[in-house]
């Protein structure tokens, strides 16, 4: 599914701005709402998975929605259609996300939990690496026909859905019997420890400091990267994410999580500053590479910290609440990034991102979470 999604996502900002005439603020709104929707939807699917004690059905439904959204992209003739497609796709991601992470937490031995989540991040990123590579090949082969390239995203999406149906097996019921509840009910939230809420706060800071990757794509285009090679941005980011996520997860099992998270935020500051002052494609790609390293040093660790600090019977809900808060922060960050770009230019967008990152690093360095 990541091959399918990233094939589209690596070209979508160019399609929105170049073909449909969408403004930078419009891009920020579409991307912010889409990503926030995915994160917010996880809060409900996580609670439902805890109630059912089963994860696979929700995962399957989420992947099915993502598959059904793919034909809308090549058929789109307006920003509204693209928005609808992104919304459906991200709803699907949100529905499957928390149950999938909770399933990993159910079966991962505690002693190697960081490595397990790091491996999951790396496997996800293989698709995020292969999708843009396929996009480059198709753009060159099909003479830059974006709608025709988007049609090819339907194929890996359908394959992913079949793999979920026939090849993913839930090994055992995942702690049923908690009763369904809204995740914001007080008696449920009171079961979460102070350590868990610190993880939620840190996740929100990370999301606020990191806006949509669509702006990385547009920064590369602004510096003169040809449309056919635009997916190279996501290839480079995903490659660095891929090679770092599992080693960082493995390392965190041995040295703790907080110090590595601080390193991840420091990398984001370096990436933002590089992108803010980049005056060539090469410097933009260098900033993108550092951005990818930041992802490898943060995303798997945050998921591991949620798993470490959440009650066993409420892990799905815990991932859902975490993503609800992060989703709101991501929406704000992407809308702000689009407004800053449109009003003051690309450099200001990334400088403000660096400032948020620096604030998050200061706050994170003063707190100890996890082990």
Give the residue numbers spanning the domain of 59: 2-169+186-365
Work out the angle at residue 360's Cα, subtended by the Cα atoms of residues 120 and 90, and round it to the nearest 5 degrees: 45
pLDDT per residue over 260-281, tens digit each? 888 888 999 999 999 999 999 9
8 Å CB contact between 257 and 371: yes
pLDDT per residue over 199-256, tens digit each? 888 888 878 778 778 889 889 989 989 888 988 998 898 888 878 877 887 787 777 7
DSSP 229-263: GTTHHHHHHHHHHHHHHHHHHHHHHHH-SHHHHHH
CA distances from 195 to 176, 305, 308, 329, 371 (A): 24, 9, 9, 20, 11
Q: How many domains does the chain have?
A: 1
Total Cβ atoms within 10 A of residue 344: 12
> Does residue 60 fall inside a structural domain?
yes
pLDDT of residue 334: 83
Secondary structure (3-state) at 152: coil
Task: Compare 51 and 235 and report the one with higher pLDDT.
Answer: 235
pTM score, whole prediction: 0.73
Q: What are phi and psi of 204, to 5 degrees?
A: -65, -40
> Using CA of residue 108, residue 114, residue 117, residue 118, what is the dihedral sign?
negative
DSSP for residue 367:
-
> Does residue 180 fall inside a structural domain?
no
d(CA 330, CA 321): 14
d(CA 349, CA 136): 27
**Which domain CATH number covers 338?**
1.20.1250.20
CA distances from 34 to 86, 231, 321 (A): 6, 20, 18
> Using CA of residue 313, residue 316, residue 317, residue 322, what is the dihedral sign?
positive
Share of the chain above pLDDT 70, in %: 90
d(CA 212, CA 102): 25
Average pLDDT over all residues of the chain = 82
> Does residue 178 fall inside a structural domain?
no
pLDDT per residue over 89-142, tens digit each? 888 887 887 788 777 777 778 778 777 777 777 777 788 888 999 999 999 999
Work out the angle at residue 291's Cα, subtended by the Cα atoms of residues 117 and 38, and round it to the nearest 5 degrees: 55
> Does residue 177 fall inside a structural domain?
no
Work out the angle at residue 303's Cα, subtended by the Cα atoms of residues 297 and 306, and round it to the nearest 5 degrees: 130
8 Å CB contact between 124 and 2: yes
Residue 53 φ/ψ region, left for φ over 0, alpha for ψ in the -120 to 50 degree band, beta for the rest: left
């Amino acid at each position: 599914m990541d091959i399918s999604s990233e094939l589209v996502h690596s070209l979508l900002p160019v399609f929105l701005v170049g073909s449909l005439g969408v403004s930078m603020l419009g891009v920020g709104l579409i991307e912010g709402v889409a990503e926030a929707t995915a994160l917010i939807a996880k809060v409900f699917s996580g609670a439902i998975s805890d109630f059912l004690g089963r994860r696979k059905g929700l995962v399957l439904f989420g992947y099915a929605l993502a598959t059904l959204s793919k034909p809308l992209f090549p058929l789109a003739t307006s920003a509204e259609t693209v928005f609808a497609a992104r919304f459906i796709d991200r709803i699907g991601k949100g529905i499957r996300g928390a149950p999938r992470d909770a399933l990993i937490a159910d079966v991962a031995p505690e002693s190697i939990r960081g490595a397990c989540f790091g491996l999951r991040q790396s496997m996800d990123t293989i698709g995020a690496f292969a999708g843009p590579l396929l996009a480059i090949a198709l753009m060159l082969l099909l003479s830059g026909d974006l709608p025709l390239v988007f049609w090819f995203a339907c194929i890996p999406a359908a394959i992913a859905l079949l793999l979920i149906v026939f090849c993913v097996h839930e090994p055992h019921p995942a702690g049923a019997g908690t009763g369904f509840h809204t995740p914001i009910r007080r008696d449920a939230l009171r079961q979460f420890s102070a350590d868990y809420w610190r993880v939620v706060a840190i996740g929100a800071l990370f999301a606020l400091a990191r806006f949509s990757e669509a702006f990385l794509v547009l920064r590369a285009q602004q510096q003169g990267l040809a449309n056919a090679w635009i997916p190279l941005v996501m290839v480079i980011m995903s490659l660095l994410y891929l090679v770092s996520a599992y080693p960082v997860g493995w390392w965190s099992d041995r040295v703790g999580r907080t110090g590595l998270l601080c390193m991840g935020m420091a990398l984001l500051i370096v990436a933002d500053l590089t992108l803010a002052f980049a005056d060539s494609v090469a410097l933009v790609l260098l900033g993108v590479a550092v951005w990818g390293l930041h992802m490898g040093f943060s995303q798997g660790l945050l998921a591991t910290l949620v798993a470490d600090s959440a009650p066993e019977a409420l892990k799905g809900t815990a991932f859902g609440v975490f993503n609800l808060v992060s989703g709101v922060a991501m929406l704000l960050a992407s809308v702000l990034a689009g407004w800053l770009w449109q009003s003051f230019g690309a450099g200001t967008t990334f400088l403000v991102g660096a400032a948020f990152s620096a604030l998050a690093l200061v706050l994170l360095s003063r707190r100890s979470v996890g082990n």
